[in-house]
Chains A and B, each alone.
Chain A
Amino acid sequence: MTPRSRLHVPSPPARPGQEPDFSYVQISPAGAVNCPDVTASARDIENLSLEMVRVLGEDHRAVGPWDPHLEPQELQVGLRHMLLTRLFDDRMQKIQRQGRISFYIKSTGEEAVAVAAGMALQPGDMLFPSYRQQGLHVVRGRNLVELMCQCLSNTHDMCKGRQMPIMYHWGKGNIFSISGNLATQFPQAVGWAMAAAIKGEDRIAASWIGEGASAEADFHYAMTFAAVYQAPVILNLVNNQWAISTFQGFAGGEHQTFAQRGPGYGIPGIRVDGNDFLAVYAVTQWAAQRARQSGGATLIEQVTYRAGAHSTSDDPSRYRPKEEWRAWPLGDPITRLKQHLITLGEWSEARHSQLEKELEAHVGACWKEAESYGTLTSGPFLDPLTMFEDVFKDMPPSLVREREELRALRTAAADAAPAAPSVAQER
């Protein structure tokens, strides 16, 4: 018989109506993986890209060499940030369902990936997130009202009505502008880090992309440049198993771990339990220390699960088992940190419910304030003439002409319809 090739098309282990099956996820016991010195060569620590760094055990205790030994107060802050992120997400999702914002993306189940990493970094470190790390804004103390106003495209919108919901940025907080084009921020973070090294600063960059986006050329650019120049950057690849309906096998996850790509470029790859707050904190701290000591970049595969839909425009029940999230072997990052604190005697169910109530009330109050600055359907509205600003630093004559054309059109329309909505003059 003539040998023939056969095209392999990856397929997830379970589809709707089938039993969830996560047997493909290789999990190391908590505390089982060694913690090398931050100066170790990528080649000598390749095992970190295959195993899984975990600190929190089944008994909710922190074990092993990666335990960051955080004070209970810090853990409580982390729990608070993750819980606030989740409640914020829940609220915004509901608001989207009510038609009061056009779109939303939750980070449910992945809060530790942003919150623990964000807490392990310095405030001057520059963050280049994708669209599912709102926890970074929470860690850096951003007023939720500002995030909500962005989602509302209202008069206080940081993006001045130019971006879809969740495409935040924060210059003062050192959080970069989110792009809808996937993975573009990965090599930009490397460029930012190269500049920090050129200037001789001790600030580093960190970026996040999904495992699906790691198929983009930008991932390869980032890894190559980071390796070549030993850029002080942490490259987080958030493997939440699903890129909309596409399971991680289509990004190449069937044959090797995503972390294994690191050593291929000469960069340490660390595979971490992304739902283990302490483990995420520890590997971030390790990579940050390495970067600050001119040791270069680290690729961290954050193994987690996208508990919600990709976005409010997505319906995951059409392509994966409905209850898959409950079968996810790495659990829920909030529950796990909560149980850890309870085990330490530093937390209780009562305190947890109390905190939940407090944060829910806080989110509710923020929403009230945000709405007072305008919604999609009721004023005050942003002045549409501001759309011509910031294309360039100074407005060229061609744009001035276009702005005046629109101004005349709007004036004519307002004269024709005297009940036109009020316009808030922002400038």
Chain B
Amino acid sequence: MARMNMVQALNSAMDVMLGRDPRVVILGEDVGYFGGVFRVTDGLQRKYGEHRVLDTPIAEGGIIAAAIGMGVNGLKPVAEIQFADYIYPGFDQIVSELARLRYRSAGEFHAPVTIRTPCGGGIRGGQTHSQSPEGIFTHVCGIKVVMPSNPYDAKGLLISSIEDDDPVVFFEPKRIYNGPFDGDPHKPAVPWSAHPRGEVPDGHYTVPIGRAGVVRAGNAVTVLAYGTMVHVAEAAVRHLGVDAEIVDVRSMAPLDVDTVCTSVCKTGRCVVVHEATRFAGYGAELVATVQEQCFWNLEAPVQRVTGWDTPYPHAFEWDYFPGQTRIAAALKQVLEAA
């Protein structure tokens, strides 16, 4: 099996799908000749031609709208929005059109569009290159929302997304494109080649949408995390030496309620971790679900560890980023509660 980083795994997913399905087209800013600012589409235009891998004008609303039209006309477009921070001009097309088309036409029309977009901070990107807007999209009915935390899941989930007949917003945590990140910016970078989930099959396989993954089994407390924060949580748990179960939520919508709640009912304690801001964030949905399904098993109030409710500050990145210290403090609090 090949060793891939997340960029290569995503590239491989699109390569596989472009090769298998003539309906698949890639479009976005800088994705063609150049291969994308993060190199995720590197070489694909050369291999499949400029009618399959299209550079577009800088117009996110136009990219999404064109992808919808293409989807209605039988193609399976994969649109790249260069940074999740730039997705908002396309918001109306996603919310009012892409998400609603099947519903409003009672199933006569639909657009199987996948929107790939890098998200999250930790790259000195400031507020315009660091946002985690997944919660804005999970609130919209009619679209699926996923975020992988490793190369294996990235490829399998992207193939699932492209094959899905419903629209999918696919968030790529760019801090871990090249290697897992435990939240400590002062440590040397670790490559994916040393990580078990950096082993990625060359060909076609899927990781299903709607299923969470248990990345570490444990009995004392459940940590619900996704994207970069899975690795930060793992490190915090390791350093603290607690018997935590870490669930990689992976598919935010639809949510794998069974995996999440089975774990929390077993451990009786839960910490929810995400990089996005706290108020009305996706974590609130997780906490509410846990409260509804696991209330009589809970031994302590559920804690949230999130980004602060401010824009992502450039100079104070590591005071903003919900790192190991904050996760460890929340774990202790939850574990020490009566």
Contacts and interface: CB of A to CB of B under 8 A. Distances in A.
Nearest to A188: B69
Contacts of B67: 191
A375 B331 CA distance: 58
B97 interface: yes
B66 A190 contact: yes
A169 interface: yes
Nearest to B108: A171
A187 interface: yes
Contacts of B300: none
Given A159-B105, A162-B103, A187 B257 contact: no
A221 B97 CA distance: 15
A4 B144 CA distance: 53
Nearest to A184: B97
Given A191-B65, A198-B25, 4 more contacts: A184-B97, A188-B65, A218-B92, A393-B110
A191 B69 contact: yes
A192 B70 contact: yes
Given A184-B97, A391-B142, A191 B66 contact: yes
22 contacts: A158-B105, A169-B105, A169-B108, A176-B109, A187-B65, A187-B66, A188-B97, A190-B65, A192-B72, A198-B70, A198-B75, A218-B65, A224-B57, A225-B57, A225-B66, A228-B56, A389-B107, A390-B103, A390-B106, A391-B141, A391-B142, A392-B142
A224 B63 CA distance: 11
Contacts of B107: 389-390
Contacts of A177: 101, 104-105, 108-109
Interface string A392-403: 110011100000
Contacts of B59: 220-221, 224-225
Interface in B48-103: 51-52, 54, 56-57, 59, 61-62, 65-75, 89, 92-93, 96-97, 101-103
Contacts of A169: 104-105, 108-109
Contacts of A163: 104
Given A171-B105, A217-B89, A198 B97 contact: no
Interface in A207-265: 217-218, 220-222, 224-225, 228-229
A190 B69 contact: yes
A280 to B, nearest CB: 24
B142 A194 contact: no
